Structures are given as structure tokens and as C-alpha cells.
């Protein structure tokens, strides 16, 4: 029941659309995400129920890190 409520809340706020936009605009994001997913899977750290990192969390962490790196890069220029 709570998962359905979370899903509705995320879709109402347009979070999914923002993530789709970030993935389409950032060229290094898809290969980087797939590489890290394979890395986590090899170490059995990809299952959320056992304490691993899920796809959504991994994707949002990568987006945040790329935004920070890009901001720092443009601030120095």
C-alpha cells in the first residue's frame, strides 16, 4: 500500500520526467550507470532487500554527482 502511495507522489511531482530528461541530456550517464550496475551485481550489492543499492538510487546519485562536477567545472572557467 505504501509503495503505491510513493509511486503516485513521485509521478504527481514529475520526478520521473525530470530523471528521463537528465538521462537524455547527459551522454556519460547511461554507460556509467550500466557499468556501476554490473559492478554492484558482481559483488551482490544490487539488491535493495539485502542492503544494496537499487537502480533508482544509483541513478539519482549519479545525476547529483554529475551536476556537482559540472557546476564546479563551469565555476572554475
Per the structure block, which three cell numbers stand in for 25?
541530456
**Domain boundaries, position 47:** 2-76
The candidate with the shortest Cα–Cα distance to 28, out of 73, 65, 74, 72, is: 65
Using pLDDT thresholds of 50, 70 and 90, give the confidence band for residue 1: very low
Q: 63 near 26, Cβ under 8 Å?
A: yes
Tell me: the pLDDT tens digits for 13-56?
677 777 778 888 878 888 999 999 999 999 999 898 999 998 88
Report pLDDT for 75: 60
pTM score? 0.69
The candidate with the shortest Cα–Cα distance to 7, out of 54, 56, 60, is: 56
Residue 14: CB atoms within 10 A of its CB come to 11
Q: Nearest-5° angle of CA 76, CA 22, CA 13?
A: 120
Domain count across the chain: 1
Amino acid at each position: 500500500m505504501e509503495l503505491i502511495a510513493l509511486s503516485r507522489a513521485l509521478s504527481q511531482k514529475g520526478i520521473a520526467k525530470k530523471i528521463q530528461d537528465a538521462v537524455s541530456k547527459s551522454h556519460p550517464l547511461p554507460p556509467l550507470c550500466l557499468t556501476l550496475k554490473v559492478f554492484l551485481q558482481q559483488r551482490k550489492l544490487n539488491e535493495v532487500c539485502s542492503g544494496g543499492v537499487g537502480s533508482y538510487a544509483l541513478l539519482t546519485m549519479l545525476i547529483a554527482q554529475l551536476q556537482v562536477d559540472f557546476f564546479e567545472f563551469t565555476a572554475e572557467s
